[in-house]
Structure 1
Amino acid sequence: MPLPARKLGSQGCEASAIGLGCMSLVPGGGFYDPEGLTEDEAVAVIHRALDLGITMFNTSDLYGPYTGETVLGKALAGRRGGVVVATKWGPMFKDGQLQADFSPANARRCCEGSLSRLQLDCIDVFILRGPVPAGVSLEETMHELKVLVNEGKIKHLGLSEVSAAQVRACHAIHPISCVELEWSLFSRDAERDIVPTLRELGIGVLAYSPLGRGLLAGRFASTADLGEKDFRRWGQPRFAGEAFEHNRQLAAKVAAIAERKGCTPAQLALAWLLAQRDDIIPIPGTKSAGRLEENAGAADVCLTPEDLAELEAAVPEGAVQGDRYAGLQHTTYHAAYSDAIERLRDFKRDHVQLQRLLAKTPTLSRKQRRSLQAYYLRQNELIDALLQTEQIHRGLFTNDAHREEAQVRRALALSFAANCLLLVVRTALALLSGSLSLVIATLDAVLDVVSSIMLYWSAHQARQRNKYQYPVGKERMEPLGIIVFSVIMGTAAFQVIVEGVKALLSGAAPDLGGKMGIVVGGTLGVVAMKLALFLYCRGSPSPAVAAFALDHLNDVLVNGVGLAGAVLGARVAAFWDPAIAIALSLWVVWTWGGQARQHLVNLVGRSAPPDLLQRLTYLAFYHDERVQKIDTVRAFTLGNSYIAEVDIVLDPLMTLREAHDIGESLQVKLELLPEVSRAYVHIDYEYTHAPEHS
């Protein structure tokens, strides 16, 4: 049986009274459960929603990112009749930080990308998602969106997380059909701030988090029910300490009313929202078919004026404790922090500004200009790192671990396959040429295959977690594998040096004869493939992939210079071949010796660099106003990542629950830094004692 339909504003958009928010359906889609569903599971949930008569689906290019739209497009293929797809654009994660680009060019780029991923010719509702910083004009962007509407790529325009003034300004350029905002019995700020403007302009509402992020559905008996990395646990004050207990009691009152009405608490909360206006469509998110059916049933719950009055008395406006996000209220976040960090942006220098600065100093030498440019580029990096801490405080940061792991697995698989193929090619070339320089390349190829297996195994072991046998994980397996590999490479190189000395003394030269073309062509092919693999692997945060990148670069040099040695030894003078082989061997010893030394130092426990200690200090200092002092901040290597220890001083009369919540939420924030594998927060009431572990 189809759900009743509702008009979303006055521009002709119409969809089911209950929609589906698709954020949590894909990995990386939401903060509550970073794992998401598999593609088949997500498609099954969407198909069940269609079967229930749900026709409003709300997604974003940010979910995944991008995979949220892709999965929705696949699920709706062949079932598009009557369906309304709303997707958002604007913010996007870049280097772990949420950055927004509201330019006209990005509006068009995002629209065309969403059309492709959703497999649509026209997007039903294209929503610009804020917040848009004060002073940023959307006028040119709205004109570009208007052009996209005229081109038939967008049917309706929407906004999200914007002010009433911004709604008016955008609506004056092109009619806005709906505004997406958080609205529920537990979040009613919009009723004062923006809803009156929407009523005046005839703009509908897509209400997200209509169940108070699960509280109104009665899902949580305590904060222990939240996952360890759940954003609500540390990024939303309503789920912290005494506020959580207070809000849970409010939810219990709603549950009691629902029981008398013969419906579930979630259905009652959704029915209350539907009763506020006839152009509101709640878009609760869920990964469960059972919850989906429960939510759809809310459309059948009729509330009388007496029911609404009883709910108002049970949860009056302002009764909920804690704000929506950390960072919006002084109890959990320094208000001054945002201003202090934001002022750092003024000290960044983009390329144009840097060139202007250099133009003002014509007396500088070329070396001084390079040094000045390097200084400002480094300063930009440090500022970006500190800005990252603000993203963590506001719950807008992800270290994208699941995507990084997928990239690591791809790089390891590609490297292993290439090394197996190239071993066959190199062996044939060495046998054909008889060149000692190419023999070292063949020996290197044998070691490549062996090392690929070893590095893959050590990286796999590092990812395996058994908190009972290995409480701090097995991350040190990876650097240990690299150290062993470095020793093997060095030993093989020394053996080639010995053979090279013998060849120099004997004066024997490689005989390429008529095989020159095959040897040269085959070696150049090897060099090209290894160069491509180096470019693919470089810059990876994984030590195993970084080791492969170095190995691929070594192979480019070994094969290229080795080919030169073979040709020079055959055509110019015999000593060139062993001499170049010895030089290549010394290069291998030098590079892999450096790798071994670096990882040995990391295993010993080297102190973190100053910029990481600065970020740890910033996170701790601005974490909560109730933190009186920062006693100690230290971090040291545990393999290729860091262990962080932070000592904070709290009021000696503070309750254990408050102290626990402050310390635990800080620990979670510290562990969001990509470099930190584990953080320990020590809580004290004074700072005059002797340092621990001195």
Structure 2
Amino acid sequence: MRSTFVPRLGRDISVIGQGCWQLGADWSHVADDTAQDILRAAADAGVTFFDTADVYGDGRSERAVRDFLASHGATGITVATKMGRRADPHVAGEYTLDNYRRWTDRSRENLGVDTLELVQLHCPPTAVLEDPRTYDDLRTLRDEGRIAHFGVSVETCDEALTAMRDADVATVQIILNVFRRKPLEQVVGAAHEAGVGIIARVPLASGLLSGKYDEHTTFGEGDHRAFNRHGEAFDVGETFSGVPYEVGVEAAREVAALTPEGWTTAQFALAWITAVGAATVIPGASKPAQAQANAQAAELPSIDDETLAALAAIYNERIREHVHAKW
């Protein structure tokens, strides 16, 4: 597994990470034993970066990671969690130092650690990212030993650029994939210059870029791909990357047709992200074999210029009008 050194984090992380949303909620149910098998498969394949959040299954995902660390050991592993979506109502006024303390104390208990290695604000209101007190409060958490480093998870490129103005923001998590290319224009280069690590989330556009879905695919009632297609529960960009489903299916077929022989379409999509400058990419998995296959994308050959140009054309001709101006 290749790794990336993140200057502001002060460590190397695997270029393919493991996203743990699916181990908590809002996808088809993953049993506890299966969750452990997925995490072990990822680690055995060389993954050293695991991303979770306090709201994934109301802490279930964090506890799954805790159990994995207890059996596997934490040496060489970086666990990132997120906080803020527990705020009810989810407004800027709830992002206070007292709430940060409560949220991080809960995550420390869930993960079984004294100090959280990396805590990310979980897509907060834009006003939170614009307020200098936010970063002062996060530094207070660091000084108190609750966290070692902090970053942000954001919806828009403008939010990413705002957060990176603070010198202690170590990472920015943002949607970056074949169907969401705007961060390449505005964020990735600025992050490299600042020493900030880009964590690419939703790398397969909620599974569209696996190439396995068609117009007749259905999703369970508790799956966000069924209940959040129009942003009913959270930002619509988190579901299918904000691309209308039927549009995404057609575009994904064209991506699949470009997939090099011997690769899966999902590996192709992940390899593209590793090539364009993300520090790590965090695909989820519902089966151990998926985690292993995702990790193998780190070792694939470079994508040739002709294929890269064809991918850009698919975006410009089919996807851009639906997403580029929104995020």
**TM-score normalised by the chain length of structure 1:** 0.42
Residue 164 of structure 1: how far off its partner (Å): 5.7
Residue 13 of structure 1: how far off its partner (Å): 2.9
- For the pair 1:191 / 2:184, whether they are aligned, the reply is yes
Is the 1:178–1:206 Cα contact (8 Å) retained in structure 2?
Answer: yes
Larger CA Rg, structure 1 vs 2: 1
Residue 62 of structure 1: how far off its partner (Å): 0.7
Other-structure match for 1:264: 264
Other-structure match for 2:95: 102
Other-structure match for 1:14: 12
SS at match of 1:177: strand
Other-structure match for 2:146: 153
Give the 3 Å change call, closer, same or farther, for CA 143–297 of structure 1 in structure 2: same
Other-structure match for 1:83: 77
- CA–CA distance in 2 between the matches of 1:140 and 1:173? 11
SS at match of 1:186: coil
Larger RCO, structure (CA 8 Å, separation 6 or more)? 2
SS at match of 1:66: helix
Residue 6 of structure 1: how far off its partner (Å): 1.4
Which amino acid counterpart does residue 248 of structure 2 have in structure 1? N
Percent pairwise identity: 28
Give the 3 Å change call, closer, same or farther, for CA 250–70 of structure 1 in structure 2: same
Residue 230 of structure 1: how far off its partner (Å): 3.4
Give the 3 Å change call, closer, same or farther, for CA 174–135 of structure 1 in structure 2: closer
- CA–CA distance in 2 between the matches of 1:74 and 1:126? 19
- CA–CA distance in 1 between the matches of 2:158 and 2:309? 34
Q: Which whole-Å deviations, capped at 9, do the CAs of 1:79-100 have from their partners, x for residues lacking one?
A: 1110000000011175xx7566
Give the 3 Å change call, closer, same or farther, for CA 154–256 of structure 1 in structure 2: same
Give the 3 Å change call, closer, same or farther, for CA 6–74 of structure 1 in structure 2: same
- CA–CA distance in 2 between the matches of 1:304 and 1:98? 41
SS at match of 1:155: strand
Other-structure match for 1:630: none
Is the 2:53–2:82 Cα contact (8 Å) retained in structure 1?
Answer: yes
- CA–CA distance in 2 between the matches of 1:165 and 1:182? 13
Residue 192 of structure 1: how far off its partner (Å): 3.6
- CA–CA distance in 2 between the matches of 1:235 and 1:197? 31
Give the 3 Å change call, closer, same or farther, for CA 221–15 of structure 1 in structure 2: same
- For the pair 1:295 / 2:294, whether they are aligned, the reply is yes
Residue 53 of structure 1: how far off its partner (Å): 1.4
Give the 3 Å change call, closer, same or farther, for CA 99–318 of structure 1 in structure 2: farther
Q: Which whole-Å deviations, capped at 9, do the CAs of 1:196-230 have from their partners, x for residues lacking one?
A: 43233221111111011111101212243333453
- CA–CA distance in 2 between the matches of 1:151 and 1:307? 52
- CA–CA distance in 1 between the matches of 2:105 and 2:160? 24
- CA–CA distance in 1 between the matches of 2:157 and 2:294? 30
**What does 1:33-52 correspond to in 2, within 5 Å?**
33=28, 36-52=29-45
Other-structure match for 1:112: 105
Is the 1:274–1:281 Cα contact (8 Å) retained in structure 2?
Answer: yes
Give the 3 Å change call, closer, same or farther, for CA 228–105 of structure 1 in structure 2: closer
- CA–CA distance in 2 between the matches of 1:316 and 1:270? 16
Report which of the two has the higher share of helix. 1
Give the 3 Å change call, closer, same or farther, for CA 313–323 of structure 1 in structure 2: closer
Is the 1:22–1:68 Cα contact (8 Å) retained in structure 2?
Answer: yes
Other-structure match for 1:255: 256
**What does 1:474-553 correspond to in 2, within 5 Å?**
none
- For the pair 1:125 / 2:123, whether they are aligned, the reply is no
SS at match of 2:117: strand
Give the 3 Å change call, closer, same or farther, for CA 112–307 of structure 1 in structure 2: farther
Q: 1:201 aligns with which of 194, 206, 215?
A: 194
Q: Quote the RMSD (CA, aligned, Å).
A: 2.8
Is the 1:146–1:174 Cα contact (8 Å) retained in structure 2?
Answer: no
SS at match of 1:253: helix
- CA–CA distance in 2 between the matches of 1:303 and 1:114? 38
Other-structure match for 1:312: 311
- CA–CA distance in 1 between the matches of 2:161 and 2:217? 43
Q: 2:206 aligns with which of 207, 213, 218?
A: 213
- CA–CA distance in 1 between the matches of 2:301 and 2:19? 23
Residue 136 of structure 1: how far off its partner (Å): 7.2
Is the 2:128–2:134 Cα contact (8 Å) retained in structure 1?
Answer: no
Other-structure match for 1:5: 3
Give the 3 Å change call, closer, same or farther, for CA 211–168 of structure 1 in structure 2: closer
- CA–CA distance in 2 between the matches of 1:74 and 1:321? 41
Residue 48 of structure 1: how far off its partner (Å): 1.7
Give the 3 Å change call, closer, same or farther, for CA 250–39 of structure 1 in structure 2: same
Residue 67 of structure 1: how far off its partner (Å): 1.8
- CA–CA distance in 2 between the matches of 1:42 and 1:63? 13
Which amino acid counterpart does residue 75 of structure 1 have in structure 2? F
SS at match of 2:56: coil
Give aligned pairs, total: 313
**TM-score normalised by the chain length of structure 2:** 0.84
Give the 3 Å change call, closer, same or farther, for CA 135–24 of structure 1 in structure 2: closer
Is the 2:20–2:61 Cα contact (8 Å) retained in structure 1?
Answer: yes
- CA–CA distance in 2 between the matches of 1:245 and 1:273? 23
Q: Which whole-Å deviations, capped at 9, do the CAs of 1:80-124 have from their partners, x for residues lacking one?
A: 110000000011175xx7566311111122222211110112212
Is the 2:13–2:279 Cα contact (8 Å) retained in structure 1?
Answer: no
- CA–CA distance in 2 between the matches of 1:143 and 1:80? 29
- CA–CA distance in 2 between the matches of 1:129 and 1:306? 35
**What does 1:587-598 correspond to in 2, within 5 Å?**
none
Give the 3 Å change call, closer, same or farther, for CA 323–106 of structure 1 in structure 2: farther
- CA–CA distance in 1 between the matches of 2:196 and 2:185? 16
Give the 3 Å change call, closer, same or farther, for CA 317–131 of structure 1 in structure 2: farther
- CA–CA distance in 1 between the matches of 2:262 and 2:299? 11
Is the 1:6–1:281 Cα contact (8 Å) retained in structure 2?
Answer: yes
Is the 1:158–1:177 Cα contact (8 Å) retained in structure 2?
Answer: yes
Other-structure match for 2:235: none
Residue 290 of structure 1: how far off its partner (Å): 1.4
Q: Which whole-Å deviations, capped at 9, do the CAs of 1:396-438 have from their partners, x for residues lacking one?
A: xxxxxxxxxxxxxxxxxxxxxxxxxxxxxxxxxxxxxxxxxxx
Is the 2:49–2:79 Cα contact (8 Å) retained in structure 1?
Answer: yes
Which amino acid counterpart does residue 39 of structure 2 have in structure 1? I
